[in-house]
């Protein structure tokens, strides 16, 4: 008989409701009264020696796993004469079976993203020192959280590969249509069995029909119905990928979930830009609010530094078109201001926010304020000196082959021009480091801001990328190995290169991989992303003691830290439903979302020179084209993003990795307006002047402007 609501288990877990029931026991939703969070409690009432060992093994399997796509066991206990109990994270949301019943057949992009996410969780299981095979993949065992993360649940049939021996946590069981033929006993099961079951799950989500049973297909009694017969408009390539996963002979399937994942990515426009752990749109707010109301008022755990108090019914999708006329008016006024005042020395950001540095006070925001480092003052703006001859304005001198890619908005009105400022480090004009593949592998190069004086800085055996200047411009942090432009760099380490001609010095690193270096304003610390916790997480290293500690400490993937130039804050990317910009203090406290929610992917946050705004790349919906947007610090969590250049002014094409000049007036960025060749470009904030700095046919990206030293 299932436990009644209100029952207290082990003096700690108060039963709220029953989630499911089987022959061996039930699964409950409960409240951990010690911590005040919701948990799931699984019980086993069938206490024979064999089943007790199997249940305990399931607890041991889950207790050792750390992945956002898998639940985490937090407790295990036995109540003599009553049963065994397994306590794990309660996964909010709806399972895939419920989603299919609610929505019918799912959009193909949704199916692709679910498949990619589940492949990542399975790959984590399959690559453990003792590989784990799930063996029970089906829609009811995949849950989609409010954050849009697909989570694998129910490991009752999982098996561990221990050398040549196989151990199982449950007896052999099959789910017709989802279980591969070998699970019926025709041969041994391995990771390809999970490939089959995931393929069957995606088949059902895409078509609304369960595929024909694997054993019947193996014996010739049935044949698999082609996906495009059930849903003719489905992408042909996607149908072929899923049908390959459903081959009855394991040798004819994808040989690993990683192969399956890569094939799914190639079918998806959404996955084409970022290939690491995509997420799925969360369940409807109404469904989650109803679930919360039915199960009490205890707030579910966020597993982070803060508890998120979501108001699901107030969540609305931001419509950017509403603000386009406002942005266009602001940009027009700013452009007119520069026309009438060519000696103006402030950045175009003055059109969006005051030029005085922001100082956090109790009245500044409802969000707890962070202490401002008064010693870290913003770099004074570089004076802009216009140079006008007739009706033509002059831009930074470029190489002979450089040419404007987008013509200025107006050729009759002079625009502010950039006069590079000398720096005592190396002399000459201000400089830009960037990554190029022109020698056959990724290495870091340097050029002046007019595209001249090109020279190679690194010659690492396995490539180098992700350059980051120290605040005084005397050192350059970078990572190696670097096989190419990507989001995650497994096995990479961070190096420091002094500009005195000495060899690069490696920092202590983890074998899993450290990347995304970002300097503190005083140059004494380095924030970076590390995989040492099993997922991307942000660490800070003291460069004097070389001791690193984790600061983000969340269940999500956190990466791409960016240190504020005027305060002890770090902006970073957190992947929940989509990648969004978050901010936190340098010790990891006060983690709050910065960018507005919506069907967008945000990445590469960069603070403005005065710390008043954060700029970042953004991809909207299923588009593959990144653009540059920004938002004032005081507008955080609001829908008040602005485009750079503003919508409706000029079309400069894709804007990839970027950097701001020390005065905040110019943006150097990775662009590919022809759709293929990636080069470094330079533009003013209003887009009126756009110069191509590099013209080599190789891949150039990740520009970083060397700080100007006064």
Q: What is the pLDDT of residues 512-564, one digit of tens each?
A: 899 999 999 999 999 999 998 888 999 999 999 999 999 998 888 999 999 99
Q: Return the pLDDT at 435.
A: 97
Q: What is the DSSP string of 75-130?
A: EEEEETTTEEEEEEE---SEEHHHHHHHHSSPPHHHHHHHHHHHHHHHHHHHTSSS
CATH 1.10.510.10 in the chain, residue ranges: 94-283
Gap between the Cα atoms of 679 and 696, Å rounded: 8
The answer on whether 524 is annotated among ligand-binding residues is no
Question: Average per-residue pLDDT in the chain?
Answer: 77
- Its CATH architecture, for the domain 94-283, is Orthogonal Bundle (1.10)
Q: Return the pLDDT at 648.
A: 66
The rounded radius of gyration (Å) of the Cα atoms in the chain is: 28
pLDDT single digits (tens) 619-669: 997 778 899 999 999 888 888 888 888 876 678 889 999 999 887 778 999
Percent of the residues in the chain that have a pLDDT greater than 70, as a whole number: 73
Q: Return the pLDDT at 158.
A: 54
Range in 59-63, 134-138, 677-681 with the lowest mean pLDDT = 59-63
Q: Return the pLDDT at 285.
A: 65
CATH 2.120.10.30 in the chain, residue ranges: 323-705
Gap between the Cα atoms of 49 and 29, Å rounded: 27
pLDDT single digits (tens) 383-432: 333 333 333 333 333 333 333 332 333 333 333 333 333 333 333 348 99
User: Do the beta carbons of residue 708 and residue 382 sit within 8 Å?
Assistant: yes
Gap between the Cα atoms of 253 and 260, Å rounded: 9
- Its CATH architecture, for the domain 323-705, is 6 Propeller (2.120)
Per-residue pLDDT for 102 more than 80? yes
Mean pLDDT across 222-248: 93
CATH 3.30.200.20 in the chain, residue ranges: 8-90
User: Do the beta carbons of residue 41 and residue 86 sit within 8 Å?
Assistant: yes
Gap between the Cα atoms of 578 and 571, Å rounded: 16
- Its CATH architecture, for the domain 8-90, is 2-Layer Sandwich (3.30)
Q: What is the DSSP string of 583-617?
A: EEETTS-S-EE-SPPSSEEEEEEEE-TTSSEEEEE
Task: For residue 167, name the pLDDT band (cuts at 50, 70, 90).
Answer: very low
Place of tokens 């796509």: 69
Per-residue pLDDT for 228 more than 50? yes
SS3 of residue 38 by DSSP: strand
- H/E element, 12: none
Provide the annotated active-site residues. Answer: 136
Q: Return the pLDDT at 341.
A: 45
Place of tokens 């190489």: 399
> What residues pair up with 571 in beta bridges, in sequence order?
562, 583
Which residue from 255, 235, 236 is spatially nearest to 245, judged by alpha carbons?
A: 255
Mean pLDDT across 443-472: 94
Q: Return the pLDDT at 332.
A: 57
Task: For residue 1, name the pLDDT band (cuts at 50, 70, 90).
Answer: low
> What residues pair up with 606 in beta bridges, in sequence order?
615
- H/E element, 409: none
How many CB atoms lie under 10 A from the CB of residue 82? 12
């Amino acid at each position: 008989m299932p436990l009644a609501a209100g029952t207290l288990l082990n003096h700690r877990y108060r039963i709220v409701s029953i989630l499911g029931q089987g022959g061996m026991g039930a699964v409950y939703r409960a409240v951990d009264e010690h911590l005040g969070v919701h948990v799931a409690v699984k019980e086993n009432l069938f206490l024979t020696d064999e089943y007790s060992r199997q249940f305990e093994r399931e607890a041991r399997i889950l207790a050792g796993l750390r992945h956002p796509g898998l639940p985490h066991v937090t407790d295990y206990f036995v109540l003599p004469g009553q049963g065994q109990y397994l306590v794990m994270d309660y996964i909010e949301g709806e399972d895939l079976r419920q989603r299919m019943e609610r929505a019918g057949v799912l959009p193909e992009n949704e199916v692709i993203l679910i498949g990619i996410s589940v492949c990542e969780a399975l790959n984590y299981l399959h690559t453990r020192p003792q590989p784990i095979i799930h063996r029970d993949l089906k829609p009811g065992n995949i849950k989609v959280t409010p954050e849009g993360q697909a989570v694998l649940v129910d490991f009752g049939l999982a098996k561990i590969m221990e050398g040549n021996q196989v151990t199982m946590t449950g007896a052999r069981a099959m789910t017709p249509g989802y279980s591969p033929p070998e699970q019926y006993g025709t041969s041994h099961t391995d990771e390809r069995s999970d490939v089959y079951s995931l393929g069957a799950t995606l088949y059902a989500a895409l078509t609304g029909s369960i595929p024909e049973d694997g054993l019947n297909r193996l014996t010739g009694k049935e044949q698999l119905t082609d996906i495009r017969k059930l849903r003719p408009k489905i992408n042909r390539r996607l149908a072929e990928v899923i049908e390959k996963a459903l081959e009855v002979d394991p040798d004819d399937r994808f040989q690993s979930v990683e192969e399956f994942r890569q094939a799914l990515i190639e079918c998806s426009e959404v996955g084409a830009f970022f290939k690491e752990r995509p997420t799925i749109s969360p369940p409807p707010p109404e469904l989650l609010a109803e679930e919360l109301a039915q199960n009490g008022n205890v707030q579910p755990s966020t597993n982070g530094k803060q508890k998120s108090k979501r108001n699901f019914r107030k969540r609305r999708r931001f419509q950017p078109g509403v603000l386009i006329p406002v942005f266009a008016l602001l940009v027009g006024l700013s452009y007119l201001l520069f026309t009438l005042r060519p000696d103006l020395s402030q950045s175009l950001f003055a059109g969006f926010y005051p030029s005085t540095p922001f100082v956090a006070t109790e009245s500044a925001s409802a969000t707890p304020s962070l202490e401002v480092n008064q010693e870290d003052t913003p770099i004074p703006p570089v004076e802009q000196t216009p140079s006008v001859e007739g009706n033509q304005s002059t831009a930074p001198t470029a190489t002979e082959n450089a040419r404007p890619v987008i013509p200025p908005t107006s050729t009759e009105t002079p625009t502010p021009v950039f006069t590079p400022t000398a720096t005592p480090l190396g002399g000459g004009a201000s400089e830009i480091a960037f990554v190029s593949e022109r020698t056959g592998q990724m290495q870091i190069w340097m050029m002046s801001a007019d595209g001249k004086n090109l020279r190679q800085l690194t010659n690492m055996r396995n490539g180098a990328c992700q350059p980051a200047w120290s605040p005084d411009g005397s050192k350059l942090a970078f990572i190696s190995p670097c096989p190419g432009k990507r989001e995650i760099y497994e096995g990479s380490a961070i190096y420091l290169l002094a500009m005195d001609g000495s060899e690069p010095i490696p920092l202590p690193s983890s074998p899993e991989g450290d990347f995304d270096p970002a300097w503190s304003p005083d140059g004494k610390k380095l924030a970076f992303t590390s995989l040492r916790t099993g997922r991307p997480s942000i660490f800070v290293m003291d460069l004097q003691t070389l001791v690193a500690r984790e600061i983000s400490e969340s269940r999500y993937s956190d990466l791409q830290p960016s240190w504020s130039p005027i305060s002890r804050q770090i902006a970073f990317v957190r992947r929940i439903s989509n990648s969004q910009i978050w901010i936190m203090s340098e010790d990891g406290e006060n983690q709050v979302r910065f960018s507005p929610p919506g069907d967008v992917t945000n990445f590469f946050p960069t603070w403005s020179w005065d710390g008043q705004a954060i700029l970042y790349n953004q991809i909207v919906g299923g588009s593959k084209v990144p653009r540059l947007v920004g938002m004032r610090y005081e507008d955080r969590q609001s829908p008040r993003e602005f485009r750079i250049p503003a919508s409706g002014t000029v079309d400069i094409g894709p804007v990839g990795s970027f950097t701001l000049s020390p005065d905040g007036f110019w943006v150097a960025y990775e662009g590919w307006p022809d759709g293929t060749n990636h080069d470094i470009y330079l533009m003013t904030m209003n887009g009126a002047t756009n110069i191509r700095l590099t013209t080599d046919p190789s891949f150039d990206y990740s520009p970083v402007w060397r700080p100007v030293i006064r």
